[in-house]
Chains A and B, each alone.
Chain A
Amino acid sequence: MQIFPRSLNKLPAVVAVGAALLGGGVVGGFWYYGTPKHLQVGYAPRQPVPYSHRLHAGIMGMDCRYCHSNVERSGEAMIPPTQTCMNCHSLVRTDSARLAPVRESWRTGQSIPWVRIHRLPDHAYFDHSVHISAGVGCSTCHGRIDQMDIVRQDQPLSMSWCLDCHRNPGPNLRPRDQITNMEWRPDPAQQVQPQRRVEPPQNCSGCHR
């Protein structure tokens, strides 16, 4: 006795094609939408003060280290204290409405609640100073900060992104005096001689201490 209609003979082919499409769709979807490249790059939160890096670092040409002063010596690049702002803004644009939160902070002693953009997981150890001393420039990881009015995350900061450089650091190194130069481009004809031997760790405990 015939239980199923004859057309059901096509079922295996339909299931195979459907499973392939579905599987491909899920994998492709995750690959594109599920990774930090999509989820994190471009994160640009509103800050309490509309501070423009383009104006300060780009047009006026201030060095990164004027504000992020300990980046060469400390693990953290440091968010500047209100004092740093007031070095200039006690004299410049003292009545700007947009700077009101800065003056308020200066008066009360309460820090400005800057919003952190580049955020690594708690279990990933990162130290700015060692990267600077190896010759990794600011713009390598943070992009063209000097062109951003509102700072956005430029690189995915995923583990594979870290490892790409740790496995082959050469192309991302530059001379020590060019670290904060946002416009520096590697010269293909000329191999950069690092200041010291650069052997980035690739073992688990290098970063997951």
Chain B
Amino acid sequence: MSSANPNAPIKEINEVALAAPEYDFHRITDDVAKVTENPAPRGWWVMFLIAVSLLGALGLTLAYLFWKGIGAWGNNQPISWAWDITNFVWWVGIGHAGTLISAVLFLFRQKWRTSINRAAEAMTIFAVICALMFPGIHVGRVWLMYYPFPIPNSMGIWPNFKSPLLWDVFAVSTYFTVSLLFWYVGLVPDLATLRDRSKNKIRRMAYGAFALGWRGSNRHWQNYERAYMILAAISTPLVLSVHSVVSFDFATSVIPGWHTTIFPPYFVAGAIFSGFAMVLTLMLVVRSVFKLHGLITLKHIEFMNKIILATGSIVGYAYAMEFFIAWYSGNDYERYVFFVSRMKGPYAWAYWSMIICNVISPQIFWVKSMRTNVPVSYAVSIFVNIGMWFERFVIIATSLHRDFLPSSWGYFHPTPIDVMTYLGSFGLFFTFFLLFIRWLPAIAIAEVKGVLPESDPHFEAHGDHGSHGDEHHDDDHKSDDHAEDGESKASSAEA
């Protein structure tokens, strides 16, 4: 199971339940699996139709873009990177929460991750797919996309290994591969549960094929735990490395506004910030459409809001530090970018939108009643998503739009194709995400069971399920629990 120390008590003093008290093993399996078994609610269909329409629009937009070339976008000198790279960095950033939740929080034994990690990982994978699309299409000649890959070719050259753009290719594709593996390994026991509950042959075959013959034996669980731990260890450095490398795209160039050493940590914090905001945006909706309030509790929302507050403040600190360094360096160009161009220039509206969304709006979470308030959380998560998009846009556009020569100053105007490409990427993302919600267990069934009082080997149910058992029993067994975690879950996941 996820929390690895088998000797740990299920609950510390004052630790709150991570699932509503009425939940026992059976109800968790039932509630999560039913989402994939019952007909989809109307809300799902409405969202799915919108998403698929946007995806279709994206297809048409891209066909037009490939036909016309990237002149169809508003990119032009001096703003040769605009929405394409903004969207790329934005989506990659969103993709960071999944691995943070599944790997880092796992290694730190944060049990509350269990009810959101599955969806967050899925979100990561789909966000990275959207992200990878943008560099792919912004090269213009998509049929030459094999250039960045180190494959033998009739040109007699390798890609330029000194270029951060190439590091990007490796960083993001590694991240995608590891995230996908991690997600899939975690899915195997739950896929087996769905297989065993299947009532028709097609479902049984489909889930059965992906469940890889899982029977939930003790040995299966042991191998699974080990694989999961190893993948968590591999993924953890990726949480830091991917967005560091993305930030090198900017930081290694000598453009004022880009050329700063603070970029890697600042980008990583921003990525986690936006990733958690997107997890909240998605999970608050999933929770209410599929009535999973007992599994994704206010406690989970509060934890996520605390992370949003912390990372948002780090990002705010980084913004302030950029100004300080610009002033402290005494460099006229640096000072110009921050004190004139960003604060008062033509893009000041974008800069101040970013500050309001990213730095000011999360501060409301200092108040407990606010961070446990669902509408407020939802509103702030939307603000953060918007703010983080503006952050990337501000970094890219304001740094480029004032060249060293005033004759090459410019202003970026998005074309309808720009807008459609961006909206279309939402279609791509939500089509994937909605299919995921509908066909895969959106909550890690086996892992949530592991944090229930029932999984305490010394749990005694007193006849009427686990609902009363938790309070008076686990105080006695703090130190001498030595049973294998796996056993308790094995019995449950076998179904």
Residue ranges of A at the interface with B (Cβ–Cβ < 8 Å): 3-4, 31, 35-37, 156, 158-164
Contacts and interface: CB of A to CB of B under 8 A. Distances in A.
Contacts of B152: 31
Contacts of A163: 155-157
How many interface residues does chain B have, given as a range?
10 to 19
A75 to B, nearest CB: 22
Contacts of A3: 195, 204-205, 208
B203 to A, nearest CB: 10
Contact of A159 (B157, B195, B208): B157
Contact of B155 (A4, A37, A160): A160
Interface in B188-216: 195, 204-205, 208-209
Contacts of A4: 205, 208-209
Contacts of A162: 156
A105 to B, nearest CB: 38
Contacts of B156: 158-164
Contacts of A35: 154
A158 B155 CA distance: 6
18 contacts: A3-B195, A3-B204, A3-B205, A4-B205, A4-B208, A31-B152, A35-B154, A156-B154, A158-B155, A158-B156, A159-B156, A160-B153, A160-B154, A160-B155, A160-B156, A163-B155, A163-B156, A163-B157
Contacts of A159: 154-157
Q: Which DSSP category, helix, strand, loop or mixed, fits chain B's interface?
A: loop
A158 B157 contact: no
Interface string B205-247: 1001100000000000000000000000000000000000000
Contacts of A37: 154
Contacts of B195: 3
Nearest to B160: A204
A149 to B, nearest CB: 29
Given A3-B208, A158-B156, A163-B155, 20 more contacts: A3-B195, A3-B204, A4-B205, A4-B208, A4-B209, A35-B154, A36-B154, A156-B154, A158-B154, A158-B155, A159-B154, A159-B155, A159-B156, A160-B153, A160-B154, A160-B155, A160-B157, A163-B156, A163-B157, A164-B156
A26 to B, nearest CB: 12
A160 B153 CA distance: 8
Name the 8 nearest CB pairs between A and B, nearest first: A160-B156, A159-B155, A163-B156, A35-B154, A158-B154, A3-B208, A160-B154, A3-B204
A156 B156 CA distance: 13
A158 B154 CA distance: 6
Contacts of A161: 156
